[in-house]
């Protein structure tokens, strides 16, 4: 059986992205189960490998046809973007432009069907802005690149065997409460189920949180659960979905009997991720034709090229986009 082929962008080439990409590719959890194609400038990858004392044993690719013929091992799809002025550890317009060039190439490979998913190494938004490129995050970028309405693209945080999707994200609590409608809750649950289906989980069990303390305590602390969330769950159950809830997020997220959770507010998912997996969670964009995840940390320019960066967030992203876990840790 052919290994799943995953595209991994080098992210900002001046940061730790190339280093963690090489380290992740050599992790036994990845090396034994996935075929990786790195996307980025060869100059940057080789420079990081030399400074960090890492082996850069890869097959160099030049075209989509080269990717399609790859059956195993590590490869690099060279996206020439840099010149001799390239410096590790420095924010620059050139590195920002290289970031997006590699990302464009990787997403195009996924759209063409020559890779099964894309994982993005950390980016530096200031560098991208210096390059004169409009960028407001991976989800909206993917929406534009794939022709998907922005409001249909969501975020699912992933760490170990936990996956948490969000009904609302970057809104004030006041505005978020207004945005939590039955239609929105249904849409996010469906999008989450579809994303899990693409990962090979045919009939996922999804736990749905409330928005109020103790999920409203039968209306004592609010009626959103009674009037909005429970009706959405009921309608989707009638359609055959396996759902539990609404349950208070603090009670719901520790459960081990769900394939994913859907929470109502940004902090319900993000605080849990920060506590359970500091700097280790992956951020999966869901709702587009491309299976995509990025790491949940930054470029760490201060340690770039020193060989000390931890690749675990990238490993987790790879495990989740492929739904490939070591024996005993899978679904």
Write the pLDDT tens digit of every residue in 19-51: 999 999 999 999 888 999 999 999 999 999 999
**How many whole angstroms separate alpha carbon 12 and alpha carbon 41?**
10
* Beta carbons of 259 and 251 less than 8 angstroms apart: no
* Beta carbons of 44 and 52 less than 8 angstroms apart: no
Look up the CATH superfamily of 4-149+278-322: Isopropylmalate Dehydrogenase (3.40.718.10)
Is pLDDT at 327 greater than 70 in this prediction?
Answer: no
With tokens 């990025």, the residue in question is: 294
Predicted pLDDT at 277: 86
Question: Which residues in the chain are classed under CATH 3.40.718.10?
Answer: 4-149+278-322
With tokens 């052919």, the residue in question is: 2
Contacts of 204 (CB under 8 A, 6+ apart): 192, 193, 196, 197, 242, 259, 260
Retrieve residue 167's tokens.
Answer: 């009904």
Predicted pLDDT at 328: 43
Highest mean pLDDT pick, 182-186, 295-299, 324-328: 182-186
Q: 149-155 — which CB contacts under 8 Å span 24+ positions?
A: 152/187, 152/191, 152/287, 153/285, 153/286, 153/287, 153/288, 154/188, 154/191, 154/192, 154/285, 154/286, 154/287, 155/283, 155/284, 155/285, 155/286
Predicted pLDDT at 24: 96
**How many whole angstroms separate alpha carbon 315 and alpha carbon 322?**
11
**How many whole angstroms separate alpha carbon 125 and alpha carbon 185?**
30
């Amino acid at each position: 059986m052919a290994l799943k082929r995953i595209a991994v962008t080098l992210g900002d080439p001046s940061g730790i992205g190339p280093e963690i990409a090489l380290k992740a590719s050599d992790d036994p959890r990845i090396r034994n189960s996935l075929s990786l194609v790195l996307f980025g400038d060869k100059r940057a990858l080789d420079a990081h490998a030399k400074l960090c004392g890492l082996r850069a044993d890869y097959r160099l690719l030049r075209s989509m046809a080269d990717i399609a013929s790859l059956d195993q091992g590590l490869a690099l799809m060279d996206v020439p973007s840099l010149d001799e002025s390239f410096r590790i550890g420095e924010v620059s317009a050139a590195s920002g432009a290289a970031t997006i060039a590699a990302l464009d190439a990787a997403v195009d490979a996924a759209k063409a069907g020559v890779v099964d998913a894309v994982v993005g190494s950390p980016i530096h938004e200031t560098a991208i802005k210096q390059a004169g490129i409009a960028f407001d995050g991976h989800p909206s970028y993917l929406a534009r690149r794939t022709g998907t309405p922005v409001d249909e693209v969501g975020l699912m945080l992933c760490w170990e065997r936990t996956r948490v999707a969000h009904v609302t994200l970057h809104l004030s609590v006041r505005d978020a409460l207004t945005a939590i409608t039955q239609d929105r809750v249904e849409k996010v649950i469906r999008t989450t189920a579809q994303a899990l289906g693409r990962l090979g989980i045919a009939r996922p069990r999804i736990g749905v949180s409330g928005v109020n303390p103790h999920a409203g305590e039968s209306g004592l602390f609010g009626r959103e659960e009674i009037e909005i969330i429970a009706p959405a769950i009921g309608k989707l159950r009638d359609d055959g979905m396996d759902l539990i809830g609404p349950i208070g997020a603090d009670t719901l997220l520790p459960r081990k009997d769900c394939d994913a959770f859907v929470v109502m507010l940004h902090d319900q998912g993000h605080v849990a991720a920060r506590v359970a997996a500091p700097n280790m969670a992956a951020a999966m964009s869901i709702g587009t034709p491309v299976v995509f995840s990025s790491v949940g940390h930054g470029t760490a320019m201060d340690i770039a090229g020193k060989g000390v960066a931890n690749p675990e967030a990238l490993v987790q992203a790879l495990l989740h986009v492929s739904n490939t876990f070591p024996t005993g840790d899978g679904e």
